[in-house]
Amino acid sequence: MNTNINREKVLIKALSIMKPKIKKSLISTEVNDREDLEQEIVFRIIKAVKDERIETPPSFSEYIEDFNK
Q: What is the Cα–Cα distance from 41 to 24, expressed in whole angstroms?
A: 13
**pTM of structure:** 0.65
Q: What dihedral do alpha carbons 41, 42, 48, 54 form, nearest 10°?
A: 110
- pLDDT the model gives residue 1: 44
Q: Are 43 and 8 in contact (CB under 8 A)?
A: no
SS3 33: helix
Q: How many CB atoms lie within 10 A of CB 49?
A: 20
- Mean pLDDT (the chain, rounded): 82
- pLDDT the model gives residue 21: 92
